[in-house]
Amino acid sequence: MNAEPLGGSLSKAFFALLRRDLLLAFRRRTELLFPVIFLLVVVSLFPLGIGPGPQLLARIAPGVIWIAALLATVISLDALFRSDFEDGTLEQYVISGHPLTLIALAKIVSHWLVAGLPIVLLSPLLALWMNLPTESLGVMILTLALGTPILSLIGSIGVGLTISLKRGGQLLSLLVFPLYVPILIIATAAVMAVSDGLPYTQFLGLLVAGLITSVTLAPFAAAAALKISLS
Amino acid sequence: MFIHKMGSPPWFYDFTGKFIPWFWLIFAALTAWGLYLGLVKAPADYQQGESFRIMYLHVPAAWMSMLIYSSMAVMGFIALVWRIRIVEILAMASAPIGAAFTIVTLTAGSLWGRPTWGTYWVWDARLTSELVLLFLYLGVIGLYNSIDEPRKAARAACLLAIVGAVNLPIIHYSVKWWNTLHQGSSISLLGGSSIDASMLWPLLIMAVATKFFYAANLLTRARVTLLEQDKRKAWVREILKEKN
Amino acid sequence: MSHAPFILAAYSIGAIVLFWCAVAPLVKKKAIARDIRRLIQIEDRSRDPNS
């Protein structure tokens, strides 16, 4: 990064940052697994708390899987900017002259790859545990694939706002869960519609719209939040 | 005197290195014999058909998953109380092996359940306990890997292992009770019937075989950890020179 | 339904997991040997900067 002129093209900067974050995450490979294990543990707590009755599990499956996804995402969000904030790298990014929005977007993408994508990939196992009807599985995976990026995008705004606070992590959950409610409602409605035999594509459409909106707007908001936190 | 010598890393490295190839050999021989008896010679089960043959993998793996956790906890206790470095290393080396056996137990059990009872997963007492055991292992491994200083990391993880061990019987019995409480499918993977002798032999052979796997793998991992931690020490340099 | 694919799958997964478990420390050993050789190089160079 020292040899690179402060200018450099936007896409070069984006990919350089993405590569750096993924490399760093890969070096601490075991830590990559923490959100994954959290997801598995949380989902398995439900049958233990409610009983293994297959029909009951099947009815609550979409909600349980999505709530577990929300919790796992919030837990991993705090790590999004924290280490860079603590060692001053974040300030270096601000000074570097590259738009902070781009930097935020790169970080969000690496967060989704490390925290959101595993959720999507693990969902078949979770669906098995929760006895989700097989016809709903496809839509379940789809809602997670569309929804988890939205969670990363919106979550980054919350992280940006709380990054400089001592108890930032706890406050973050408070800030971000209300924002997540619409995604939870729409996603679970889609999956439940499939098993009830009702139309579900309108819900997927809403998720797509949400994704497009948050991709275009959230990085700006996250950048603004970071600037405030760093000031 | 012997125990004191074991505490010296280069002596430990040297001494255990002699056993490892033999352990692997015995493991291979016993496994070959056990699998031959179990997969080829034993007759198909009256109730379950051929799928019961998975038992020869599932049950020994389950026994190992529990044995290794207990041995990890005992070693953890010794390491914490007497502060013996080599025992810390052995305890921590056990964790991934135990986790591996637990994963094998769960997947083999799942694949056994599908043809026999129609489902890949059921929240019965045994499988659920085994899943919780996996989470306990992952916790120990995760904690050990997240602290930079190796001795401190080992002590923290050993404490966690002991806490888990104390909890394990409680967890096991509560899951059993939970299972009877919610009239879930009362499936016991070994079935109610007693096991015929021709089925028992391969099981016992595999059970012994897996112990040799554990011994060989444990010592290998412990030696590698010693090399890594003592990178800058003379005895490691000597060994590297001898190799080249 | 034939039980054979289930038996095969179970034993294959078992074999893969246990094989990886057995081999992982050996891979690490190679990495450590590489590390040590690099360490020795660095030390030699710092002891005799003119070499």
Q: Is residue C13 part of a domain?
A: no
Chain C CB contacts of B100 under 8 Å are 17-18, 20-21
Domain residues for A170?
Answer: 10-230
Residue A34 touches partner B, C-beta closer than 8 Å: yes
Q: Is residue C39 part of a domain?
A: yes
Q: Which chains have at least 3 CB atom pairs separated by less than 8 Å from chain B?
A: A, C
Distance separating the N- and C-terminal Cα atoms of chain B: 32
Residue A231 touches partner B, C-beta closer than 8 Å: no
Q: Is residue C29 part of a domain?
A: yes
Residue A45 touches partner B, C-beta closer than 8 Å: no
Residue of C nearest to B109 (CA): C10
What span, in angstroms and rounded, lies between the C-alpha atoms of B83 and B155?
9
Q: Is residue C46 part of a domain?
A: yes
The partner residue sitting opposite C22, judged by closest CB among B51, B217, B224, is: B217
Query: Smallest Cα–Cα separation from B127: which of B149, B139, B111, B147?
Result: B111
State the total domains in chain C: 1
Query: Smallest Cα–Cα separation from A204: which of A185, A184, A188, A190?
Result: A190
What does the pLDDT profile of chain B (244 residues) look like in tens digits? 566 777 788 999 999 999 999 999 999 999 999 999 888 876 776 666 778 889 899 999 999 999 999 999 999 999 999 999 999 999 999 999 999 999 999 999 999 888 887 888 988 788 888 999 999 999 899 889 888 889 989 999 999 999 889 888 888 888 887 777 665 444 454 444 456 667 788 899 999 999 999 999 999 999 999 999 998 888 888 888 887 6
Q: Is residue A3 part of a domain?
A: no
Q: Is residue C28 part of a domain?
A: yes
Other CB atoms within a 10 A radius of the CB of residue B229 amount to 16
| B49 phi, psi to nearest 5 deg | 75, -150
Q: Is residue C41 part of a domain?
A: yes
A40–B135 C-beta distance less than 8 A: yes
| Interface pTM, i.e. ipTM | 0.87
* C8-49 tens-digit pLDDT: 999 999 999 999 999 999 999 999 999 888 888 888 888 877
Answer yes or no: pTM beyond 0.90: no
A30–B141 C-beta distance less than 8 A: yes
The partner residue sitting opposite B100, judged by closest CB among C7, C18, C36, is: C18
Residue B100 touches partner C, C-beta closer than 8 Å: yes
What span, in angstroms and rounded, lies between the C-alpha atoms of A25 and B197?
52
- Letter for the amino acid at A230? L
Q: Is residue C44 part of a domain?
A: yes
Domain residues for C30?
Answer: 23-51
State the total domains in chain A: 1
